[in-house]
Amino acid sequence: MKIIVTGGAGFIGSMFAAKAVERGDEVIVLDALTYAGHPENLESIKNKSQLVVGDICDAALAYELLCGQGSDAIINFAAESHVDNSISGPGIFIKTNVEGTYSLLEAARKYWNGLTGTKKNNFRFIQISTDEVYGSLGEAGKFNEETPMRPNSPYSASKAAGDHLARAWHETYGLPTIITNCSNNYGPRQFPEKLIPKSILDAISGRKIGIYGDGKNIRDWIHVEDHAEGVQLALVKGKPGETYCFGGNAERNNSETANKICEILDELRPLANGKSYKSQITFITDRPGHDRRYAIDDAKAVRELSFKRKYDFAGGLEATVKWYLENQAWIDSVTDKSSLRANAMSEAIQTPVRWIASPKGSQ
Ligand code: NAD
């Protein structure tokens, strides 16, 4: 299959891209390399895929790539993805997650309109989204594909808007779009702004491990590899116009997750003073509009796509903590260069298509 993976230099997109290459797919990653996008994440496939530095808001670029590759699918992982950033600066979330999705849909529609026969029937536009579009749960119940959207943060509202557009492009124009809504991901190569990698790095750097509010907000954790497999199943088995939810069946409150990380670190890298890393945990002022609980009922994905998770949370979390302990060079690289990359990106996206045979820095 020939696939365009937008946001493929980020956390989940890079896992999906690597697995696609392993399967023998031809992959073009389209990524703006924002602070969250790093060619280092594509290290394992650098000689077997292409990275194009560009913005998903550039419909002409997306169209050119679709035509140039003769694509069978476009998987839209590209997004601004951090809720806290969406509270302090919502504008870029609207630009990337709403306008960017619109631009890709239009590029895909133009390309798809020019296809015929099997190529046209088999083309897919997969919109990657989040369970956060459904809002917040009380103590009971789970989200599923029928749950009405009630986003509470600028991030989730922008993702919900993207999902609505993808659905509408199917209903109105017949574009074969599929939407996936997934719970919180964890695993290797997640930018250290999200709860799990941030807690690990704060712990080992001797900083306070900040937990919002009373620490009782619940997330349903899925390993990034399981999510990537789910997306692949949606691509090959999913029905156009449908939505599929993926979850981890691993509800934990944030306090429990931080404590578990500390326990793993106490084993793997005990502190010289004999204390537990737990002594660094501190509760901080809650995030405004903080959703209380997320949980996913993924029965539809299990039934219709044969979705099956490989990881349980305990084993997956331990492996993740180990990964961060063993990959200091990656941490230094993605954290040190963040601001430089943001600047490089704003220049890169001014230029027309830039084909890069292998990720920057490895040539
Ligand atoms: P990430 O922040 O790690 O990666 C996002 C990638 O998109 C980066 O490589 C970035 O450079 C790229 N990007 C940003 N703006 C762009 C633009 N205008 N043009 C091209 N590329 C751009 O995010 P992630 O955690 O890998 O999430 C990927 C997708 O999955 C997002 O759509 C997110 O909403 C969704 N999702 C994430 C989670 C999670 O827990 N992380 C859960 C469910 C769904």
Query: DSSP letter string over 166-191?
Result: HHHHHHHH---EEEEEE--EESTT--
Residue range 163-192: average pLDDT? 98
Answer yes or no: is pLDDT of 342 > 60: no
Tokens found for residue 319:
């492996």
Q: Is 326 a catalytic residue?
A: no
Q: Is 131 a catalytic residue?
A: yes
Confidence of residue 337 (pLDDT cuts 50, 70, 90): low
- Mean pLDDT over each residue of the chain, to the nearest integer: 93
Instruction: Output the residue whose Cα is nearest ligand 1's atom 29.
Output: 77
Q: Which residue has the tokens 């793993």?
A: 264
Q: Is the CB of 16 under 6 A from ligand 1?
A: no
Confidence of residue 336 (pLDDT cuts 50, 70, 90): confident
Confidence of residue 349 (pLDDT cuts 50, 70, 90): very low
Q: Is the CB of 191 under 6 A from ligand 1?
A: yes
Residue range 75-79: average pLDDT? 98
Going from the Cα of 271 to the center of ligand 1, the distance in angstroms, rounded, reads 34
Answer yes or no: is pLDDT of 344 > 60: no
Q: Is the CB of 162 under 6 A from ligand 1?
A: no
Instruction: Output the residue whose Cα is nearest ligand 1's atom 5.
Output: 10
The span from the CA of 183 to the CA of 248, in Å, is 7
Answer yes or no: is pLDDT of 164 > 70: yes
Using one digit for the tens of pLDDT, what is the confidence trace for 215-265? 999 999 999 999 999 999 999 999 999 999 999 999 999 999 999 999 999
Q: Is residue 218 within 8 Å of residue 253, measured between CB atoms?
A: yes
Answer yes or no: is pLDDT of 347 > 80: no
Show the domains of the chain with their CATH numbers: 2-190+222-250+290-312+338-350 (3.40.50.720)
User: What is the 8-class DSSP label of residue 72?
Assistant: S
Residue range 16-20: average pLDDT? 98
The catalytic position among 132, 220, 291, 298 is: 132
The size of the chain, in residues, is 363
Q: Is the CB of 228 under 6 A from ligand 1?
A: no
Lowest mean pLDDT among 226-230, 274-278, 334-338: 334-338
Residue range 119-146: average pLDDT? 98
Residue range 78-105: average pLDDT? 97
Going from the Cα of 58 to the center of ligand 1, the distance in angstroms, rounded, reads 17
Q: Which of 263, 222, 267, 264 is nearest to 246 (CA)?
A: 222
Question: What pLDDT is recorded for position 360?
Answer: 36
Pocket test for ligand 1, best of 12, 58, 181 (most atoms within 8 A of CB): 12
Using one digit for the tens of pLDDT, what is the confidence trace for 21-30? 999 999 999 9
Chain centre distance of CA 340: 22
Question: What pLDDT is recorded for position 284?
Answer: 96
Tokens found for residue 321:
């903590």
Going from the Cα of 265 to the center of ligand 1, the distance in angstroms, rounded, reads 28
User: What is the 8-class DSSP label of residue 352?
Assistant: S
Q: Is 193 a catalytic residue?
A: no
Percent of the chain with pLDDT over 70: 93
End-to-end CA distance of the chain: 26
